[in-house]
Amino acid sequence: MAAVLVVLWCLCACQLAVSIEHESSSCSSSYDYSEALEKAILFFEGQRSGKLPAQQRVKWRGDSALTDGMLENVNLVGGFYDAGDNVKFGWPMAITVTLLSWVALDYEEEISSVNQLGYLQSAISWGADFLVQAHTSPTTLYTQVGDGNADHRCWERPEDMDTPRTLYKVTPNSRGTEPAAEAAAALSAASIVFKSVDPNYSAKLLSTSRSLFEFADRYRGSYQGSCPFYCSFSGYQDELLWAATWLYRATGEDKYMNYIVSNQGWSQAVSEFSWDNKFAGVQAILAKVDYILGNNPMKMSYMVGFGSKFPLQLHHRGASIPSIQTHAAKIGCNAGYSYYNSQLPNPNVHIGAIVGGPNSNDHYSDLRSDYSHSEPATYINAAFVGSVAALLADTEEGSGKCAVDKKIRGTSHQVDSVY
């Protein structure tokens, strides 16, 4: 599972690519950054859980998990599957929303120029809506839907899944400051995105964010509820500072700045920025995306559907099994393993998915079973969206716009042959 990646490898790609010669000017790049941005955002539609909207572009997906939360009479339908499995983890979903919101705020003009702002806002609200629903009381936050161990014993489409939709939550008696504070950060950031678009919705997001921050700070305790999939290694102080920073940006209220200043001793210099560690979040983050898009020793794109050579055996249940649109009959828990073990390309191309990446020797095997390298994750794509938007901005500020706005190609493409 991609969650074993403690560091978002796409943010470290600039270090890996140091030995790869390329032009320093963005406009001399051979990569179409606007296309990469389109596809990176499109990926989130393939990760949707719940009732899909009429304007859904990823046609090989269908409605799924429509009874989530029913076990405890709460509505937890919606949100994102974090990676290639069918579990919804609130913590990585929250950092995904925070990162996407950050990009929408800082690169709104550039993203609008390639007609992607609406799609980006849809991705943000899809995750934000779930986080609001998950905060069912001032002292409760649901942090996971689905039994990770049971889910990982099955290989089935989300539309077919029949594994337990076990619910996990944090309360004063079962604490989890990290996911609660991260959710607060996410909703604060999202509230700014929608402030001028939908003031009432923005106010709802901000109100929920305030409640979550108060809950996270008052009932401090490190979160272990999603271990071994998402464990806290850096503690909860970074999430609290991160949330206070976003609340200050959203409100301008002195109490949040005072909180940051009075707890500045928590901060520290770090070399990573991940779903677990945000100390680097206030530092400038600009990764070189050319490595991911193909300027690497393998001469391949690590974004599915970008370029002529990209991963074909993505570790992803929905993408690796024939779509419910083309194979309506249920494919059960064990039956799905015939597709998992297949040497053929995935029948559904999950456009925009960025895989875990190559090994330490810059080699990529493209094996569905090699989950640590072939599985995508929402927070990887969220970080990439920011990186490519920054490069698109640099392109537009240079000698003119190099990349052209292209229509998304093959969003429901069926693979017929191997490159």
List 397's β-bridge partners, or say none. none
Name which residue leads in pLDDT, 21 or 348.
Answer: 348
362 labelled catalytic: no
d(CA 264, CA 90): 27
Of the candidates 47, 209, 59, the one whose C-alpha atom is nearest the C-alpha of residue 123 is 47
Asked if the structure places residue 126 within a domain, the reply is yes
- The one catalytic residue in 63, 106, 214, 366 is 366
What is the mean pLDDT of the segment spanning 269-298? 65
- The one catalytic residue in 38, 178, 375, 396 is 375
d(CA 287, CA 386): 9
d(CA 181, CA 212): 6
Q: Which residue range is the domain that position 122 belongs to?
A: 2-397
Global pTM reads 0.87
38 labelled catalytic: no
* CATH number for the domain harbouring residue 331: 1.50.10.10
Asked if the structure places residue 410 within a domain, the reply is no
Using the 8-state DSSP alphabet, how is residue 89 labeled?
E
Q: Please write the tens of the pLDDT for every residue from 186-237.
A: 999 999 999 999 999 999 999 999 999 999 999 999 988 777 677 777 789 9
Of the candidates 49, 84, 41, 82, the one whose C-alpha atom is nearest the C-alpha of residue 66 is 49
**pLDDT band of 276, cuts 50, 70, 90:** low
Q: In what order do the strands lie in the sheet with 167-170?
A: 88-89, 141-145, 167-170
Asked if the structure places residue 91 within a domain, the reply is yes
Q: Is the peptide bond before 53 cis (omega within 30 degrees of 0)?
A: no
Asked if the structure places residue 405 within a domain, the reply is no
Residues in the chain: 419
Asked if the structure places residue 374 within a domain, the reply is yes
Buried b (16+ CB within 10 A) or exposed e, 240-278: bbbbbbbbbbbbeeeebeebbeeeeeeeeeeeebbbbbb
- Average model confidence (pLDDT) across the chain: 86
Owner of token pair 């240079």: 398
Asked if the structure places residue 312 within a domain, the reply is yes
Query: Could you give the angle at the alpha carbon of 245 between the alpha carbons of 240 and 250, nearest 5°?
Result: 125
Q: How many domains does the chain fold into?
A: 1
Asked if the structure places residue 239 within a domain, the reply is yes
CB 220 within 8 A of CB 207: no
Owner of token pair 């929250």: 94
First to last CA, the chain: 26
- The one catalytic residue in 135, 315, 316, 373 is 315
The continuous run of DSSP H or E covering 144 comes out as strand 141-145
Q: Which parts of 67-124 are beta strand (E)? A: 88-89
214 labelled catalytic: no
d(CA 8, CA 273): 7
Using the 8-state DSSP alphabet, how is residue 122 labeled?
H
Of the candidates 154, 179, 167, 193, the one whose C-alpha atom is nearest the C-alpha of residue 239 is 179
Asked if the structure places residue 407 within a domain, the reply is no
Q: Please write the tens of the pLDDT for every residue from 6-47.
A: 334 444 443 333 333 333 444 456 899 999 999 999 999 999
